[in-house]
Structure 1
Amino acid sequence: MTSPLDLSLITGPIPVVATVAGAVALLSLAVRKDRAWRTRVLPIVVAACAVLVAGVTFVVDHVWKPWPEPLPPVLAVWAGAALVAACLAVARLRAGRWYWRILGVLAALVVLASAGTAANAHFGLYPTSRAVLDVFANNRVGLDEAARPPSSVVEVPAGGKLAGVWRKPAGLPDKGTVSETAIPGAFKARPAWIYLPPAYAAASRPRLPVLVLLAGQPGAPRDWFDAGRLAGRMDAFAREHDGLAPIVVAADQLGARMANPLCLDSKLGQSETYLARDVPEWIKRRLTVDGRREAWTIAGLSQGGTCALQLAVRAPDVYGNFIDLTGQREPSLGSRAETVKAAFGGDEAAFTRVNPMHILARQRFPQTAGVIVAGRDDRNYGPAAAEVFQACRTAGMDVQWKELPGGHDWTVWRTGLYDSLPWLATRTGLSS
């Protein structure tokens, strides 16, 4: 039988039950026989909360603008519902018997939980309750312990593939390791999260391909391990390939959860230099990796997908492959004018020199391969992904197009990355 912890939090009965429970709990808070409650307290609370949520939404979308796209309406609706529930529960504390006060607080908590479930379902963030609980589990090991020097290295003949010479040794662990460590460089980045596959634990270690993975904005490197469920999915891939899987380095291209330096070298920071020079040099110095560009892949979701495309055209000698998971058409802080002003002081020419779409229009990349993923219901980024795909094809790239069910959410990002692993394994020499 399926464990309750493995039931979907994104589709199926749980989101439906949570929505119904939230509506019932909110209604129970709103209904009272007291005439003053119906004519004064309830209308004032609802109106005040509506104005507050509308004001916050306006400030976020039009003043602060921490990300290019506006807040999804479903979040504003549920935020308003949770705020109304909290205010009504507080108002109920001033009158009534003690057990009604307790029930009021519990009802407000139900509405809050329903709002959280709705937000999670909208973004596809945590697929199951087990995924939520795993956020609190600390299964990381120190990199010094996980990446001890090997006794020897499995070398692949020129033109050969690792799968052709690798033989799984006895006693190889079933799971890889997860570590967190700082990667110094020109950009003030947060610590990277690193996955080393089971094969890395072999005394005679293979030189493994590298996947540099980027989260979206707002986001952090560990997002791929929490919402992305990366360690478990890579372990499953390794079990099917005699312990082989790419080394995954979830690096930080943002500097802070809400920041967006656009993966460029600009007034906003040296994010491009960090990803094109500092991170690869550190990986090659610290880990046993295949140094060929064909064995290196840059991938990311949303803003990280835009960044992956940027690095593919700005550092093609480092990254031979890329995976763009619902990225933007170009680096953006909302509009072209706002982006150019913030990053380059209004110098449009400086922006076009580094904008991937302009580069693809004037340069060819026949040795670069990629996958571009779009969500079928992603109205903001889906058309942009189609434009990027055509531009890459025109520039001579070997690119694949994947359109998946879903929107701009983790259901698309998880599937898009993990369904690309067989292609990636073939491309990097991990399998034949």
Structure 2
Amino acid sequence: MLSPLDLSLINGPIPVAATVASALALTYLAIRKNRTWWTRVLPILVVSCAAVVAGLTYVVDHLWKPWPEPTPPILMVWVGAALAALSLAAVRLRSGRWYGRVFGVLLALGVVASAVTAGNAHFALYPNARAVLDTFRNDRVDLDEAAKPPSNVVEVPAGKKLVDVWKKPADLPEKGTISEAEIPGAMKARPAWIYLPPAYHVTPRPKLPVMVLLAGQPGTPRDWYDGGRLAENLDAFAREHDGLAPIIVVADQLGTSLANPLCLDSKLGQSETYLARDVPAWIKQRLTVDERRESWTIAGYSHGGTCSLQLAVRAPDVYGNFINVTGQREPTLGTRAETVKAAFGGDEAAFVQVNPMDILAKKQFPKTAGVIVAGKHDGQYRQGNLDVFEACRKAGMDVLWTELPGGHDWNVWRPGLYGSLPWLAQRTGLSR
């Protein structure tokens, strides 16, 4: 039987029930048997809440601009609903019996909870309650313990793949391990999250392919473990491949959640050098990996997807493969003019020199392969994804186009990455 913890928080009865309950709660909070309430208090309150939401939207989208995309209107509607509920409950605290006031506060908190549920459903962040509860778990393993130097490694003869010589050991663990570690380098980055698959923890140890994985902006490396359910999906992949799976290093390309150094070396930071030099060097020093470029993949969603394309064309000697899940057409802070001004002091030529679309128009990459994933209903980025696909194809890359139902959210990001693993396994020797 399906556990209540596994009921969807994205589709089905829970989001619908939350919306209906919120509407009923707001209706109850808004009704009072008082003429002044209807002619003065309620209209002023509603208009004030609408003005606050409109002002907040303007500040975020036009003044602060912490991310290049406009704030989704549905989220601001829910912010307005939550603000209205809290305001109505606060006004009710001034009169009525104590239990009526307590009930009003509980209803307002229920509307806030419904707003959070709606926001989660919009981005498909946590698929169920079990995923929410998992955020409180701490099953990380110290990397020094998880990645001890091997006493013996699997040798793969020339012309063979790892899968050709790999035999599932009797002592193969059921799951991989998760660790956190600082990766020093050209930028001040937050700790990376590292997934080591089951096969990494046996002797002899295979030299496994590597995926450097990036989250979106705003975001943290942990997002791929919470919203992305990375360990769960990679463990499932490993079970189908006798314990083999890529080593995943979820690196930080931002520095802070709201920063955007554009994955470039510019006035905004040295993100490109960090990802192209420092992170790979650290991985090769600390982990047992296949060091051939064709076994290295750069991947990510949204801002991280844009970065994956950038590193594929800016560091092709490091990354032989890329997976770009709903990335932007080019690195951006909103417009090209704003981007060039902030990153390069207005020097358009400096931006063109590092912009992947401009590089793809002039240079061929016959030894690079990639997957470009778009959301069918992603009105913001789908056309840009198509432009990138065509540019990569014309530049000689071996690229695949994948279009999935959904928009710019985890409904696309999760299956976009994990659906690309069979393709990647063939390229990196984990399957035939």
- Per-residue CA distance 1:224-280 (angstroms, 9 max, x = gap): 000000001000000111111000000000000001000000000000000000000
Equivalent residue number for residue 79 of structure 1: 79
Partner amino acid, structure 2, of 1:41: V
Separation in structure 1 between the aligned mates of residue 363 and residue 157 of structure 2, nearest angstrom: 32
SS in 2 for 1:371: strand
SS in 2 for 1:205: coil
Instruction: Give the Å deviation of 1:43.
Output: 1.3
Equivalent residue number for residue 9 of structure 1: 9
Instruction: Give the Å deviation of 1:203.
Output: 2.0
Instruction: Give the Å deviation of 1:155.
Output: 1.5
Unmatched runs of 5 consecutive residues or more in structure 2:
none
Instruction: Give the Å deviation of 1:336.
Output: 0.4
Instruction: Give the Å deviation of 1:326.
Output: 0.2
Equivalent residue number for residue 324 of structure 1: 324
After the TM superposition, which of the residue ranges 384-393 and 86-95 deviates more from structure 2? 86-95
Equivalent residue number for residue 100 of structure 1: 100
After the TM superposition, which of the residue ranges 158-167 and 245-254 deviates more from structure 2? 158-167
Instruction: Give the Å deviation of 1:159.
Output: 2.1
SS in 1 for 2:361: helix
Separation in structure 2 between the aligned mates of residue 159 and residue 257 of structure 1, nearest angstrom: 44
SS in 2 for 1:47: helix
Separation in structure 2 between the aligned mates of residue 41 and residue 211 of structure 1, nearest angstrom: 58
Unmatched runs of 5 consecutive residues or more in structure 1:
none
- Per-residue CA distance 1:52-91 (angstroms, 9 max, x = gap): 1100100111111111110000011000000000111111
Q: How does 1:2-401 map to 2 (within 5 A)?
A: 2-401=2-401
Instruction: Give the Å deviation of 1:40.
Output: 2.1
Partner amino acid, structure 1, of 2:427: R
Partner amino acid, structure 2, of 1:259: A
- Per-residue CA distance 1:117-172 (angstroms, 9 max, x = gap): 11111111111111111011111111011111111000111221111111111121
Partner amino acid, structure 2, of 1:113: A
Instruction: Give the Å deviation of 1:38.
Output: 1.9
Instruction: Give the Å deviation of 1:431.
Output: 1.2
Q: Sequence identity of aligned pairs in percent?
A: 75
SS in 2 for 1:254: coil
After the TM superposition, which of the residue ranges 147-156 and 382-391 deviates more from structure 2? 147-156
Instruction: Give the Å deviation of 1:288.
Output: 0.2
Structure 1 length normalisation: TM-score? 0.99
Separation in structure 2 between the aligned mates of residue 178 and residue 38 of structure 1, nearest angstrom: 57
Instruction: Give the Å deviation of 1:12.
Output: 1.1
- Per-residue CA distance 1:284-336 (angstroms, 9 max, x = gap): 00000000000000000001100000000000000000000000000000000
Separation in structure 2 between the aligned mates of residue 266 and residue 331 of structure 1, nearest angstrom: 12
Partner amino acid, structure 2, of 1:392: C
Separation in structure 2 between the aligned mates of residue 67 and residue 364 of structure 1, nearest angstrom: 32
Separation in structure 2 between the aligned mates of residue 93 and residue 223 of structure 1, nearest angstrom: 39
Instruction: Give the Å deviation of 1:103.
Output: 0.8
Separation in structure 1 between the aligned mates of residue 309 and residue 155 of structure 2, nearest angstrom: 31
Partner amino acid, structure 1, of 2:320: G
Partner amino acid, structure 2, of 1:184: P
Separation in structure 2 between the aligned mates of residue 303 and residue 45 of structure 1, nearest angstrom: 38
- Per-residue CA distance 1:99-121 (angstroms, 9 max, x = gap): 11111011101111111111111
Instruction: Give the Å deviation of 1:34.
Output: 2.1
After the TM superposition, which of the residue ranges 33-42 and 147-156 deviates more from structure 2? 33-42
Separation in structure 1 between the aligned mates of residue 36 and residue 144 of structure 2, nearest angstrom: 67
Instruction: Give the Å deviation of 1:192.
Output: 0.2
SS in 2 for 1:32: coil
- Per-residue CA distance 1:336-394 (angstroms, 9 max, x = gap): 00000000000000000000000000000000000000000001100000000000000
Separation in structure 2 between the aligned mates of residue 410 and residue 3 of structure 1, nearest angstrom: 22
SS in 1 for 2:374: strand
Alignment RMSD, CA only?
Answer: 0.6
SS in 2 for 1:294: helix
SS in 1 for 2:153: strand
After the TM superposition, which of the residue ranges 287-296 and 162-171 deviates more from structure 2? 162-171
Instruction: Give the Å deviation of 1:35.
Output: 2.1
SS in 2 for 1:153: coil
SS in 2 for 1:377: coil
Question: Is the aligned partner of 1:426 residue 2:426?
Answer: yes
Partner amino acid, structure 2, of 1:86: L
Separation in structure 2 between the aligned mates of residue 146 and residue 380 of structure 1, nearest angstrom: 41
Separation in structure 1 between the aligned mates of residue 41 and residue 294 of structure 2, nearest angstrom: 66
